[in-house]
Amino acid sequence: MMNRQQMHEQLQKKLSKNRYLHSLGVAYTAASMAMRYDVEVNLALTAGLLHDCAKFLSDDEKIKKCQKHHLSVNEIEMDNPDLLHAKLSAHYACKKYGVTNPEILSAIAYHTTGRANMTTLEKIIYVADYIEPNRMHLPDIEYIRKEAFEDLDQCFIYILKNSIAYLLKEGYTCHNISMEAYEYYIGG
Ligand SMILES: [Fe+2]
Ligand SMILES: [Fe+2]
pLDDT per position as a tens digit, 8-61:
999 999 999 999 999 999 999 999 999 999 999 999 999 999 999 999 999 999
Model-wide pTM > 0.85: yes
In this structure, whether the domain defined by 4-185 belongs to CATH 1.10.3210.10 is answered with yes
Per-residue pLDDT at 117 exceeds 90: yes
| Residue 1 DSSP class | -
Confidence of residue 101 (pLDDT cuts 50, 70, 90): very high
Q: How far is the CA of 169 from the centre of ligand 1 (A)?
A: 20
Per-residue pLDDT at 76 exceeds 70: yes
Q: How far is the CA of 127 from the centre of ligand 2 (A)?
A: 10
Confidence of residue 136 (pLDDT cuts 50, 70, 90): confident
Confidence of residue 5 (pLDDT cuts 50, 70, 90): very high
Per-residue pLDDT at 111 exceeds 80: yes
Give the number of the ligand closest to the Cα of residue 89: 1
Which residues have CB atoms below 5 A from the ion given as ligand 2? 52, 129
Q: How far is the CA of 184 from the centre of ligand 1 (A)?
A: 22
Average pLDDT, the chain: 96
Angle at 52 between CA 154 and CA 108, to 5 degrees: 55
Per-residue pLDDT at 138 exceeds 90: no
Q: What is the mean pLDDT of residues 159-174?
A: 92
Interval 152-164: pLDDT, tens:
999 999 999 999 9
Is the separation of the CB atoms in 44 and 33 below 8 Å? yes
Cα distance between residue 78 and residue 89, in whole Å:
17
Nearest to 106, CA basis, from 124, 131, 82, 133? 124
Give the number of the ligand closest to the Cα of residue 132: 2
Q: How far is the CA of 164 from the centre of ligand 1 (A)?
A: 16
Confidence of residue 188 (pLDDT cuts 50, 70, 90): low
Which pLDDT belongs to residue 139? Answer: 84
Sequence-distant (≥ 6) Cβ neighbours of residue 60 within 8 angstroms? 81
Q: How far is the CA of 68 from the centre of ligand 1 (A)?
A: 21
Cα distance between residue 125 and residue 108, in whole Å:
7
Q: What residues does each domain of the chain span?
A: 4-185
